Amino acid sequence: MIVGEQKSIAEIKNIVSPYKKVLILGCGTCVKTCFAGGEDEVAVLASALRLAFKKDGRRIEVEEFTVERQCEDEFVQESAEAIARNESVLSLACGAGVQAIARRYEKTPVLPGVNTTFLGVLEKHGLFTEECSGCGDCQLAVFGAVCPFTRCAKKLLNGPCGGSQEGKCEVDPDTECAWSLIIYRLKLLGQLDNLRAYVPPKNWCASGACGPRKLIREDHVL
């Protein structure tokens, strides 16, 4: 899932301060799971903003609405009436959701309330870890399903750096060494020979270095 973190109240307050009527628009998919922008977070932020502005002697109308996914136009349309009632939209979706809302409602200021952080997994309740960089050229089959491009601080593709200690990364001792995990997993799978194969440098174009990527599924396009 896409993992994001809500911006600080101070930053959000600053972003919405030019407006008297703000719609806080939540997204019920990824950012809901990481407690950044689902219905509950929308309610908490709305209440916090009302209190913050009231404390400053300013009155602001804050409306709350959450759609299933802000990155899909079908769901985005459900927010049309709520958006029309307000001067601006504070989107608690990832950056893609913010832009999808702005694309549909081009005369309405659409503001980000979340810092989109990474593609990750829910390791345990409340703990999210980055596991994928969306590089566009997945080699997990070689690495025992542990991504060195994302999980190795040095992004090494042909073996460990030699600096890890007791399976922990020398860059951050709280992080497991990706190469320790790769070797452990390849041992379990009986695939240690994978380590002998040379992995060529990545094609950075596939990971976005040649401009924004586009995926077309012709069989779904009319």
Partner 1 sequence: MGKQFIPKITVFHCINVFGDGEFLLPPEKQDAAVEFIKLPCSSMVKDVFLLRAFESGADAVLVLVCPEGACRYVEGNLRAKKRVGWVKNLLDEIGLDGGRLALFNVAADDAAAVEQIIVQTLSQLADLGPSPAA
Q: Evaluate whether 208 touches 136 at the Cβ level (below 8 Å).
A: yes
Q: Give how many residues touch partner 1 by CB under 8 A.
A: 13
Binding partner 1 (rule: CB under 8 A), the pick from 15, 48, 140, 153 is: 48
Say whether residue 197 binds partner 1 (CB under 8 A).
Answer: no
Binding partner 1 (rule: CB under 8 A), the pick from 14, 18, 21, 54 is: 54
Say whether residue 10 binds partner 1 (CB under 8 A).
Answer: yes
Q: Which amino acid is at 194?
A: N
Say whether residue 44 binds partner 1 (CB under 8 A).
Answer: yes
Torsion angles phi and psi, residue 130, rounded to 5: -75, 130
Binding partner 1 (rule: CB under 8 A), the pick from 1, 15, 52, 60 is: 52
What DSSP line would sit under 37-75, residue for residue? SSHHHHHHHHHHHHHHHHHTT---EEEEEEES-TTSHHH
Say whether residue 17 binds partner 1 (CB under 8 A).
Answer: no
Of 23 and 71, the one with the shorter C-beta distance to partner 1 is 23
Binding partner 1 (rule: CB under 8 A), the pick from 1, 33, 50, 82 is: 50
Say whether residue 156 binds partner 1 (CB under 8 A).
Answer: no
Q: Evaluate whether 179 touches 152 at the Cβ level (below 8 Å).
A: yes
Neighbours of 198 (CB within 10 A): 6
User: How far is CA 101 from its chain centroid?
Assistant: 17
Neighbours of 185 (CB within 10 A): 14
State the distance between the two ends of the chain, measured CA to CA, in whole angstroms: 28
Query: Within 13 Å of residue 50, how many CA atoms lie on the same side as its CB?
Result: 12
Q: For residues 18 and 174, give the distance between their C-alpha atoms in angstroms, rounded to a whole number.
A: 42
Of 48 and 161, the one with the shorter C-beta distance to partner 1 is 48
Range in contact with partner 1 (rule: CB under 8 A) among 40-48, 95-103, 138-146, 192-200: 40-48
CA angle in degrees (0–180, nearest 5) for 22-2-129 = 125
Say whether residue 127 binds partner 1 (CB under 8 A).
Answer: no
Say whether residue 15 binds partner 1 (CB under 8 A).
Answer: no
Say whether residue 199 binds partner 1 (CB under 8 A).
Answer: no
What's the closest the beta carbon of residue 48 comes to partner 1, in angstroms?
Answer: 6
Q: How many helices (H) and strands (E) does the chain have?
A: 8, 7
Say whether residue 47 binds partner 1 (CB under 8 A).
Answer: yes
Say whether residue 43 binds partner 1 (CB under 8 A).
Answer: yes
Name the site residues for partner 1 (rule: CB under 8 A). Answer: 8-10, 40, 43-44, 47-48, 50-52, 54-55
